[in-house]
């Protein structure tokens, strides 16, 4: 069952990832009428929200864009940093949406940030317990129910983290789309492209959350289901 879950969501994740890259490449072909680069759009959005302590940087890779709240940097991949198209505008504004969340103490982002160390510890505990059980954890006298409780608890934390990530990502996209529209960064057609690109970006997080829920349900069934 766990192998089936992994295969199904791995395939689903692959399809969504391919679709996202396809959309990004498609919308990168149309030049933005405003002729602004992703870097310029990011800096303009930050300034419009009175955020002056966040730097906009270029990082290597494709679709590696992210906001780092620890050093307050908006990190854009080269295609976004230098790009002057609807896809670059959408991604740059989305990452700045996270910076705005940080600056305004957005509740879901604060909760997600607070969970990062807990999630990391849960992942390590889960790995240790699963490896120990494979190499005779039960034979060494560890109660089956105790191992189950630890596994379900640890994976429950990780699943909760993926669920909390959803409103954070959706809100950042909503902030980005509202700003590029109201600031006349994009035309009506460019807005539709930006919205579609961010929709597929959000789908990657939806798939991750569904995969986590399915895996958690599997562990609950294995350890606490009816074994009569």
Long-range pairs for 114-119: beta carbons < 8 A, 24 or more residues apart: 115/157, 115/160, 115/161, 115/164, 116/161, 118/157, 119/157, 119/158, 119/161
Q: How far apart are CA 74 and CA 68, in angstroms?
A: 6
Annotated catalytic residue: which of 43, 60, 95, 190? 95
Tell me if residue 133 falls in helix, strand or coil: helix
What are the DSSP E strand ranges found in 1-138?
A: 55-58, 66-68, 73-76
Does residue 60 have an active-site annotation?
A: no
Give the single-character DSSP code of 61.
S
Catalytic residues: 95
């Amino acid at each position: 069952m766990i192998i089936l879950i992994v295969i199904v969501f791995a395939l689903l994740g692959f399809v969504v990832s391919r679709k996202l890259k396809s959309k990004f490449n498609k919308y990168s072909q149309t030049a933005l009428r405003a002729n602004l680069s992703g870097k310029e759009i990011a800096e303009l959005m930050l300034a419009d929200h009175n955020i002056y302590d966040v730097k906009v940087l270029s990082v290597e890779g494709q679709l590696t864009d992210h906001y780092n709240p620890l050093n307050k940097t908006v990190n854009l991949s080269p295609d976004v940093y230098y790009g002057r198209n609807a896809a670059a505008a959408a991604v740059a504004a989305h990452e700045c949406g996270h910076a705005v969340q940080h600056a305004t103490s957005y509740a879901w982002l604060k909760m997600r940030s607070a969970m990062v160390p807990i999630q990391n510890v849960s992942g390590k505990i889960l790995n240790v317990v699963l490896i120990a059980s494979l190499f005779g954890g039960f034979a060494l006298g560890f109660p089956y129910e105790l191992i189950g409780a630890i596994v379900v608890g640890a994976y429950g934390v990780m699943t909760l983290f993926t669920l909390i990530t959803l409103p954070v990502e959706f809100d950042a996209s909503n902030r980005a789309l509202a700003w590029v529209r109201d600031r006349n960064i994009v035309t009506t057609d460019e807005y539709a492209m930006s919205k579609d690109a961010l929709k597929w970006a959000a789908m990657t997080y939806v798939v991750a959350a569904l995969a986590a829920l399915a895996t958690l349900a599997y562990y609950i069934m294995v350890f606490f289901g009816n074994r009569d």
